[in-house]
Structure 1
């Protein structure tokens, strides 16, 4: 039977084989051979830098010529013939293919490959290299990587401008600066004084009493060591006269401490008065501190007795001031 010219038959067979190779790894042409699909992983060429995606490589095996019914059934559906009629039609087409191969012609299955006979009359198959039959790699194509030319960027260095030194004008001549420093030194000392403790003892301007200044004849009296200071009489007004003694008559005082401001000194006086002492702010020291005393005494023995009581129970840093 005749269902078209040889070219039409060849085109129909090529289209069916191309479709079947996408979903099958083996398509047999009865009486001719089988086309086998083998998985090929992706690769790259080390010299040409060409990258190939994974694919299904098609090979031909002339020994696979027994009909498995796959190609015949698909052709029968397309030709709308039964199985036997389609098989007869396919056998006639295969005989024509063999005759043309023996005549030295090639047989091409479009988008699949080309069949030819070698010098030993064996069928050789040359597949289409750019055809892709692997569904997982659909849409992937070979590409060549072009090396990127890298250029070294040179950053211009800014020019450094060296400026001539500018002479520094002295604000004060040498002698004038020394004079100003000498004038400022007392002010600096006064500014630093509040950093020290409020209570200051001037041991370098006094002498500690270690013996009784009023000894009796042949009397063995044990005198307790008492911190005692002698100080010249200041010609400054007393800030507050104690109620029980007169600064003009008294010459012996028990000093509670020296303070840098009047508020602290007056607070100390109120505290000592609450303790029962006849306390008062005696005067200002040469350093500008407010001197607070427990009281003033005319008798040294009485002063020492009170001093001993104070140092034992209240203020061990108290000391005697004798004018």
Structure 2
């Protein structure tokens, strides 16, 4: 059984997925990123790391496999043990193994495990459909405003006023000089006030715009942080019952000596094995009408495989291992 698929399914929902006897895959949320020098944008994602010291069986993976395969919990534990044994053999032979859609685990010169993440898959469900992209650089053209001093503005206004009043006769000009003077002062005052107030107004608008953008960005960050801690459809909690010390230890690994259609022949083979010192067993008739005979039963796959190698060399080359809770 390939257990990579089930590990990947659990990584979408949990922060830690332990493979008993091998290690644990841990996840951490990474916020959206912007790389300014390349104008690249990356969505939030889950970063995955590996810890080879977390090996105890927490029941999560085995329970998930048992539900998905519609089989027993003990059989799922056996399947995990068998797959872990194959991983360790591959590490010894090839110094690395590739776990589909998760990453590559390699064996270092110090005999430690090094994990390299496969970044093609994003296990953050809230980022489904989001991909990285590169945005063209935005070019902004600033309007160049000619710096004009207050004295230049005043001179221009005075000259304009002189041109406006050139049509008035000298006698009338002398009589209306006080009014013209006050009007000129008023126009000059309004012009100067407008020149000073307009930049202040622009600065105020810019400050308010920055405040609004800051508030919006804060709300976006809050949404991203909320997505880190809430899971809408988690897998039901694992419920395990503690085994009493008085229970008989289950031996799910068996070495097959043969299967006989005649019960008498099965009993004969059983007696031969007992005489040779094996802890043999004869099972009841199976669905094929045969009586299976076992060399013995074992609690771990490694123990069963070691004994099978001895049996194939010394007694029966056709012996094989049966994984089944009897």
- Tell me the TM-score normalized by structure 1: 0.42
Q: Which has the higher contact order (CA 8 A, sep 6+)?
A: 2
Q: Which protein is richer in helix relative to its size?
A: 2
